[in-house]
């Protein structure tokens, strides 16, 4: 039997997790000297309220090696193999924690896979693995498929303020976008090629930003006859709603590809690094991952 493990940044809703028996290892968020497990201890709304009142920005940590070991040991009771899929190693040490834990577990065969993505990008890879498991694919087949399919992921997102990414040290090449006088909306890309956040566009005005993001998403989808999309968002803002309207209309009026469209809320750990007003589109050019 093969167990499927991921981390809390995959942003898959509870019913899906339950349906496919997906096991979650949570990352942790620290705010005002308190520590919470992502998606376990704290709801997003509550967290945003805390973020706003807190003097210092929250910090986050990867799951400890011990946490992974506990999870794997527990799974060893019922499974003999584990596929453990996690957020990009360019953004977090989670994969590394998982690897260290796996090295200390003899009872199980554990395959750690770097999704090179996160949020619903990671979520799509987890869903893909879950589907393959229901079709009785073996570990090697699943691994091989995931390594190929992760290349077909793209995430475009915008943040209200770059300072969160900057302070969290996750900004990489988007550094070039930093400034503190002039206001513009950055469109950032989490590219599957590097697993890093890179700057894509600087745009002024949220309508133009949304328009550009939709354009980019459709460009990323072009050439594939089946495309999975997911909206990702922190706080539910008017700007985000406008994006949904825009992409929704575009998708309905095209007949280049079949599509699936999900909407997943970003957890506390990721929004600690992006700020609450983050929103974006995840594109996965691959078999539809619906029912």
Partner 1 sequence: MPINNKEKITAVDAEQFKDMMFTSLYWLKEQKSFIDSLNVFPVPDGDTGTNMYLTFKEAVSSLEDNNSGSVSNLAAALAKGALMGARGNSGVILSQLIRGFAQALKNKKKMKTKDLAKALEKASEVAYHGVLKPVEGTILTVSREAAEKATAEVGSVKDLLELFEITIKAAEESLERTPELLAVLKEAEVVDAGGQGYLTILEGMLKGLKGEKIEYQAAAAEEKTRKRSEIAEDIKFTYCTQMLIEIDSRKNKIDRVIDKIRKDMQSYGDSIMVVGSDDVIKIHVHTNHPGVLLEYGLKKGKVFDIKIDNMRKQNQEKVELENEADFDHSQFHHSKNESEADSKPKENKDAAAEAVTESESKEIVPNAEEDAEIVVDKNIGIISVANGEGVVNILKELGVDYVIKGGQSMNPSTNDFLEVVERMNTEQIIILPNNKNIISAAKQVSELSQKNIEVIETRSIPQAVTALMIFDDQASPSELKESMEAEIKHVKTLEITKAVKDSKINGLEIKKDNYIGLKDGDILVSADTEKETVINLLKEVAEDEELVTIYYGEGITETEAEEIRKIMEENFDFDEIEIYPGGQPLYPFIISLE
Binding footprint of partner 1 on the chain (CB under 8 A): 176, 179-184, 201-208
By beta-carbon proximity to partner 1, the closer residue of 19 and 241 is 241
Comparing CA positions, the residue from 38, 177, 237, 206 lying closest to residue 118 is 38
Shortest distance (Å) from residue 250 CB to partner 1: 19
For residue 57, the SS3 value is coil
Shortest distance (Å) from residue 189 CB to partner 1: 14
Other Cβ atoms closer than 10 A to 131: 16
Cα 191-286-79 angle, rounded to 5 deg: 90
* Phi-psi group of 173: left, alpha or beta (phi > 0 → left; psi -120 to 50 → alpha; rest → beta): alpha
By beta-carbon proximity to partner 1, the closer residue of 77 and 238 is 238
Shortest distance (Å) from residue 183 CB to partner 1: 6
Comparing CA positions, the residue from 65, 62, 53 lying closest to residue 103 is 65
Instruction: Provide the pairing of β-strand 226-233 with 197-203.
Output: unpaired
By beta-carbon proximity to partner 1, the closer residue of 143 and 202 is 202
By beta-carbon proximity to partner 1, the closer residue of 81 and 198 is 198
Shortest distance (Å) from residue 178 CB to partner 1: 9
For residue 287, the SS3 value is coil
């Amino acid at each position: 039997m093969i167990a499927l493990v991921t981390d809390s940044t995959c942003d898959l809703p509870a019913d899906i997790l339950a349906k496919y028996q997906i096991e979650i290892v949570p990352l942790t968020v620290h705010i005002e000297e308190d520590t919470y497990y992502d998606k376990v201890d704290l709801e997003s709304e509550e967290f945003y309220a805390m973020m706003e009142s807190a003097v210092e920005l929250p910090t986050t940590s990867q799951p400890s090696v011990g946490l992974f070991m506990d999870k794997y040991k527990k799974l060893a009771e019922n499974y003999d193999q584990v596929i453990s899929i996690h957020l990009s190693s360019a953004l977090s040490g989670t994969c590394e924690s998982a690897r260290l834990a796996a090295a200390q577990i003899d009872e199980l065969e554990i395959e750690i896979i770097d999704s090179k993505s996160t949020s619903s990008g990671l979520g799509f890879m987890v869903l893909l693995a879950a589907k393959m498991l229901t079709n009785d694919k073996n570990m090697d087949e699943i691994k091989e498929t995931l390594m190929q399919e992760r290349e077909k992921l793209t995430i475009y997102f915008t943040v209200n303020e770059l300072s969160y990414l900057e302070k969290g040290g996750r900004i990489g090449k988007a550094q070039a976008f930093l400034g503190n006088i002039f206001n513009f909306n950055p469109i950032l890309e989490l590219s599957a090629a590097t697993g890093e956040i890179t700057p894509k566009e600087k745009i002024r005005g949220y309508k133009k930003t949304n328009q550009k993001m939709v354009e980019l998403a459709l460009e990323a989808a072009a050439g594939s006859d089946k495309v999975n999309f997911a909206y990702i968002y922190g706080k539910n803002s008017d700007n985000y709603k406008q994006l949904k309207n825009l992409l929704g209309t575009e998708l309905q009026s095209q007949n280049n590809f079949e599509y699936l469209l999900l909407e997943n809320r970003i957890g506390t750990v990721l929004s600690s690094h992006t700020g609450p007003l983050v929103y974006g589109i995840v594109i996965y050019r691959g078999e539809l991952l619906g029912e």
